[in-house]
A and B are shown apart, each in its own frame.
Chain A
Amino acid sequence: MILTNVESVPGKTIKQHFGIVSGSTVRAKHVGRDIMAGLKNIVGGELKGYTELLQESRKQATDRMIKQAEELGANAIVNIRYATSSVAQGASELYVYGTAVQVV
C-alpha cells in the first residue's frame, strides 16, 4: 500500500478511484503515564509517554484505513490528512482519511 499526502502518487498514474477511506481511534490516557506527565509538567520538556501513546494510536488509525482500502481493492491512498480532536476530558480522537485509488 502506497500512502501519500499529495493528490497523486508521484511517478505513477491513477487508474481508478474508490472514494474516501478513513480510520479513527479514541484513546484515553494511561494512569501511570498521566502521573509521570504530571511530574514532567513541572519542569517542562517532552512528554515521551504521550508522544508514544499518540504515535501508537495514529498508527492504529492508519492501519484501519489501510484495511478498508485493501477491502476495496485499492493499492494506494492519496491525499491523506490527519486530524485530532479532544472528545472528553483526558481522551482524544485521532482521525485519518484519504482517497483510495488504484495506480499503475
Chain B
Amino acid sequence: MEALVVFFLLLIFGYTIGSINEKNHYKSIEEREKKTLPLPVVNMKKVEDILKPGKKIASAELVTGSVVVSIDYFKRILASLKNLVAGNVRSYETLIDRGRREAILRMKEAADSPDIIMNLRIETSTIGRSANRNSIGSIEVLAYGTAIKYQY
C-alpha cells in the first residue's frame, strides 16, 4: 500500500514539475535560437563549399557543446507502457529533441563570435546503468564543429 502511495506521489510530482521544466526549457531554447540565428551552422566538410568568393579565412578552431538531459518519472512510466503496444514514443522524442537543440546552442554560444560553424557532428550516448530500469532515460548529446572567422 505504502509503495503504491509513493509510486503515485512520484508520478504526480514528476508530471507537474517535469512538464513545467520542459515548457521553460523549450521557451529558453526558442529564445536563444532566435538570438543565435545570425550564426549559420552547416555540416559541410569542404572549405570551398562555405567560402564566399573574395573572402579569406583568418582562423579556425574546434568548438563543442554538450548536455546531459533526463526524462521525468511520469514520462518514463508512460514510455514503458507505450512499449507494450509499440508506436511513436512521444515522451522520448521531446527528450532527445531538447538535448540536441540545447547542445547545438551551447556550441554556438561557446564560440568566440565566428562567422560560420562548419562540419557539425552530433553524438548521442545513453548514460546510466542499463541494468537498473530507473536510470534509463538519461542521454548525453555532444555537438562539435569547426568555427571559422573571415578576414575583413
Residues of A within 8 A of B (CB): 2-12, 37-38, 40-48, 50-51, 54-55, 58, 80-86, 89-90, 92
Task: Give 25 pairs: A residue, B residue, CB < 8 Å, sorted on A.
Answer: A4-B60, A4-B146, A5-B62, A5-B145, A6-B47, A9-B60, A10-B47, A10-B57, A10-B118, A10-B146, A11-B58, A41-B73, A42-B72, A44-B17, A44-B69, A44-B72, A45-B70, A50-B68, A50-B140, A51-B66, A55-B66, A58-B142, A80-B144, A82-B123, A83-B123
B35 interfacial contact with A, CB 8 Å: no
Interface centre among A3, A43, A47, A92, by most B CB within 10 Å?
A43
Please indicate the chain B residues that have their CB under 8 angstroms from the CB of A89 in the complex.
129, 131
**Known A4-B60, A82-B144, A89-B129; contact A46-B72, beta-carbon cutoff 8 A:** no
Tell whether, in the assembled complex, residue A44 and residue B21 are in contact, meaning their CB atoms are under 8 Å apart: yes
**Known A7-B45, A11-B56; contact A58-B22, beta-carbon cutoff 8 A:** no
Looking at the complex, which one of B45, B57, B70, B72 makes contact with A37 (CB distance below 8 Å)? Answer: B70
B121 interfacial contact with A, CB 8 Å: yes
* A89–B66 CA distance with the chains assembled, in angstroms: 21
**Known A5-B145, A37-B138, A84-B125; contact A47-B60, beta-carbon cutoff 8 A:** no
B104 interfacial contact with A, CB 8 Å: no
Residues of B within 8 A of A (CB): 10, 13-14, 17-18, 21-22, 25, 45-47, 56-62, 64, 66-73, 75, 95, 102, 118-119, 121, 123, 125-131, 134-135, 137-138, 140, 142, 144-146, 148
Tell whether, in the assembled complex, residue A42 and residue B144 are in contact, meaning their CB atoms are under 8 Å apart: no
Give the total number of A-B pairs whose CB atoms are below 8 A apart: 131
CB proximity of B108 to chain A, nearest CB, Å? 15
* A99–B9 CA distance with the chains assembled, in angstroms: 53
CB proximity of A5 to chain B, nearest CB, Å? 5
CB proximity of B43 to chain A, nearest CB, Å? 11
**Known A4-B62, A11-B56, A11-B60; contact A45-B18, beta-carbon cutoff 8 A:** yes
> Given A37-B138, A43-B14, list of 19 further CB < 8 A pairs?
A5-B62, A5-B146, A9-B60, A10-B47, A10-B57, A10-B148, A11-B56, A41-B137, A42-B13, A43-B73, A44-B21, A44-B22, A46-B68, A58-B64, A58-B66, A81-B121, A86-B126, A86-B130, A92-B125
Please indicate the chain A residues that have their CB under 8 angstroms from the CB of B58 in the complex.
11
| B149: nearest chain-A partner, CB-CB | A11
